Amino acid sequence: MTHPTEESPVPGLDPVAARRWLLRSHAASPWLHEEVARRMIDRLQWFREQPASWLHWEPLMGGLEAHRSLAARLPNARCLVFAEDLRVTERLQGGAGRSLRSLLGWGKSSAPAVATADTRVAMLWANMVLHQEPRPQALLRRWHGHIDVGGFLMFSCLGPDSLSELRGIYQGQGWPSPAHSFTDMHDWGDMLVQAGFAEPVMDMERITLTYSSAAAMLDELRSFGRNLGAARFPGLRGRGWRARIESAIEQHGPRDGHGRLTLGFEINYGHAFKSAPRPQAGDSQSVSVDEMRAMLRKRRG
């Protein structure tokens, strides 16, 4: 895969559609995101020292339940949040009259601070965000700037094997792919290093979901996200389009031993540290002759 640069977006990902989905008013966090976040939280046990401060990037997308769980896991840590459009975090959710503040149980005294450009934390938490980001290299550098030296980033995202069953069905019908191509975890490791992170660690797992019908599958996929592929069908489809998709899935979709339709998601997990900046190649240091002799004698001795 060709790595996206700071200026160019991910090949095949429509940045306008990506931003529209990010800023959409969501009634709740996708349950799959909550489940992935729960598994991310389990990975905190790998770290000897728990962070004294943390920043939740796009908490509504990353999981409201996960936010509560993290806050309980880190009761003494300072918590901050960031959303690309703060109106998203405060607007009414699904007509229920409840903002993100009330959904998370924040009172006036317990509400976390909103991150600013100067915010620095020990841990930045970004669950299921990167695969929807048109310019991930720039976002990784931005995250790097929010983390203290010695702090770390924890993130998750969809991997390239996600929706492979559905991609195969679409390809067989001659339709554009149901989603853009997701980045491989090894490429994420390279991009983390390019962004200035140290000791990146990536791992993955596959989650297989089963459905009683194609209609149930499509309904749930709508809650997870949208097709952000630039090559998707332009404009709205006709009334019979949904029926055609359901028919193709029912006919050609793989099934488990109980006859239920299956759909797999590759979940990539990653963490990386922010180390102290290394001296530039052109940096010089003056050492006297006497100091040099003393260092040489010390090494020989």
For 16, other C-beta atoms within 10 Å of its C-beta total 10
Is residue 94 scored above 50 in pLDDT? no
Q: Distance from CA of residue 207 to its chain's centroid?
A: 16
Report the pLDDT averaged over residues 126-145.
97
* Cβ-contact 79, 59 below 8 angstroms: no
Examine residue 144 and state whether it is found in any structural domain, yes or no.
yes
Determine which of 46-60, 92-106, 110-124 has the lowest per-residue pLDDT on average: 92-106
Q: For the segment 111-128, what is each residue's pLDDT rounded down to a tens digit? A: 667 888 899 999 999 999
pLDDT of residue 3: 56
Report the pLDDT averaged over residues 281-291.
56
* Cβ-contact 31, 64 below 8 angstroms: no
Examine residue 293 and state whether it is found in any structural domain, yes or no.
no
Report the pLDDT averaged over residues 248-262.
98
Q: Distance from CA of residue 31 to its chain's centroid?
A: 15
pLDDT of residue 166: 98
Report the pLDDT averaged over residues 237-266.
96
Report the pLDDT averaged over residues 120-137.
97
Report the pLDDT averaged over residues 89-110.
47
Which CATH number does the domain housing residue 137 bear? 3.40.50.150
Report the pLDDT averaged over residues 142-164.
98
What is the helix (H) or strand (E) element at residue 140, kind and residue range?
helix 136-146
What band does 23 get if pLDDT is binned at 50, 70 and 90? confident
Determine which of 52-66, 79-93, 236-250 has the lowest per-residue pLDDT on average: 79-93
Q: For the segment 217-245, what is each residue's pLDDT rounded down to a tens digit? A: 999 999 999 999 999 988 778 889 999 99
Is residue 95 scored above 60 in pLDDT? no
What is the spatial distance between Cα 261 and Cα 103, in angstroms, rounded to a whole number?
Answer: 33
Examine residue 111 and state whether it is found in any structural domain, yes or no.
yes
Examine residue 253 and state whether it is found in any structural domain, yes or no.
no
Examine residue 229 and state whether it is found in any structural domain, yes or no.
no
Examine residue 297 and state whether it is found in any structural domain, yes or no.
no
Determine which of 131-145, 162-176, 201-215, 281-295 has the lowest per-residue pLDDT on average: 281-295
What's the mean pLDDT when you consider all of the chain?
86
Tokens 């200026």 belong to 7
pLDDT of residue 116: 86
Examine residue 142 and state whether it is found in any structural domain, yes or no.
yes
Most confident of 29-43, 234-248, 282-296: 29-43
Tokens 């488990």 belong to 256
Which percentage of the chain shows pLDDT scores above 70? Answer: 80
pLDDT of residue 293: 60
Domain around 33:
15-160+181-206+266-276
Structure tokens given for 89: 């975090």
Domain count, the chain: 1
Examine residue 110 and state whether it is found in any structural domain, yes or no.
yes
pLDDT of residue 178: 96
pLDDT of residue 115: 84
pLDDT of residue 6: 55
pLDDT of residue 97: 38
